[in-house]
Amino acid sequence: MAEPHKVVIIGSGPAGWTAAIYAARANLAPVCVIGVPKSNPAPVLPGGQLMLTTEVENYPGFPDGVTGPDMMEKFQKQAERFGTKVVADDVVKCHFDRTPFELELADGETISAHAVIIATGATANWVGLDNEMRLAISGGGVSACAVCDGALPNFRDKRLAVVGGGDTAMEEATYLTKFASMVSVIHRRDELRASKVMQQRFLGNDNAEVLWNKVVVDVLGDGYITALELEDTQTGEKSTIEVGGLFVAIGHTPATGFLDGSGVALNAKGYIDLTTRSSATNIEGVFAAGDVADADYRQAITAAGMGCQAALDAERWLGTKGLA
């Protein structure tokens, strides 16, 4: 096996690339394993959730906005400028019970590292409709993040729909009431799972409603969403509502499957458990950053901040071991 790398970063969203930039500038010669495109059940691309975001207007430094893919391309170029090595493959298994650590790749290769930063993110859970994904990828008015996209001009003063019934859905829907003419929460049951206070916060708005016992069976619109086809879960009756945007708020799944058997502690929701204010996991020398360890904020800027934190923590840890 080749000489161990000082630090290997797994993931290539804002957290991964920011960690790479900081690690590279610290002369740690980082390797960034960025993953490969996947399409089942929903698209997952190197670069993370921002690759499915057309316009980003809330990231500082871009006064005119920037597309998610363009932002990630800039992040990558900046990381590579300082010497980050990029590996386009998936890590399928981690051996953190030995030092240096060993990471198995999908192509059969194994790479070793003294320190590892996990920044694989979390993927939004989608309804799973072809038109839903087509319009989400093309910027056609379908999104999985109201806080990210809801204030965009194309959503203002329109009827917007939110799929979901938990606290996240209520939070997203309440946020959208600031901009929409009406926010229609679509829920498959006759009562919400959200806490009473979150329900009241949403339903206390004049432009808020819940469509009970309904599921979305199709998203209508060619280049941009125009309507939703709904089905009643009790009667099977079909109906159509005109909307100017659809926000899917049925949770996220952290990309931690490859950590099975690794010993990295996860919380009850499957996110990496960071028990302190640092980015350190329960395994010495293994750090985490971004949405893979953050079920609360899930923003590009918070992920980037965590990537910076992880790189600094890794550098300091390597220094204590005489490896930096």
Residues 50 and 61 in one domain: yes
Specify the amino acid at residue 251. G
Residues 22 and 116 in one domain: yes
Q: Distance (Å, rounded) from C-alpha 184 to C-alpha 34?
A: 37
| Termini Cα distance of the chain | 21
Say if residue 306 is exposed, middle or buried (CB neighbours under 10 Å; 0-12, 13-18, 19+): buried
Task: State residue 324's pLDDT score.
Answer: 82
* CATH number, domain with residue 25: 3.50.50.60
pTM value is 0.88
Residues of the chain with pLDDT under 50: none
- Total domain count for the chain? 2
Location of structure tokens 């934190």? 309
Q: Which residues form the catalytic set? A: 145, 148-149
Residues 19 and 163 in one domain: no
Residues 90 and 140 in one domain: no
Q: State which of 229, 248, 267 marks the end of a domain.
A: 248
Structure tokens that stand for 249 in this block: 């708020």
Residues 243 and 142 in one domain: yes
Residues 132 and 190 in one domain: yes
Task: State residue 277's pLDDT score.
Answer: 79
Specify the amino acid at residue 127. V
ω into residue 153 within 30 of 0, thus cis? no
Q: Distance (Å, rounded) from C-alpha 125 to C-alpha 231?
A: 20
Q: State which of 248, 268, 285 marks the end of a domain.
A: 248
Q: Is 322 left (phi over 0), alpha (psi -120 to 50) or beta?
A: left
Biggest alpha carbon–alpha carbon distance for the chain: 68
- At 14-28, the pLDDT tens digits run 999 999 999 999 999
Residue 34 structural domain? 5-123+252-320
Q: State which of 248, 273, 291 marks the end of a domain.
A: 248
Residues 201 and 162 in one domain: yes
Q: Tell me which residue of 63, 32, 64, 58 sits closest to 47, measured CA to CA.
A: 32
Residues 167 and 99 in one domain: no
Residues 113 and 262 in one domain: yes
Instruction: Show contacts of 97-100: CB within 8 Å, 24+ apart.
Output: 97/263, 99/285, 100/4
Residues 101 and 157 in one domain: no
- H/E stretch holding 204 reads none
Residues 266 and 214 in one domain: no
CA angle at 28 for the pair 26 and 31, rounded to the nearest 5°: 125
Task: State residue 42's pLDDT score.
Answer: 65
Residues 138 and 206 in one domain: yes
324, 285 Cβ separation under 8 angstroms: no
Q: Tell me which residue of 265, 252, 266 sits closest to 295, measured CA to CA.
A: 252
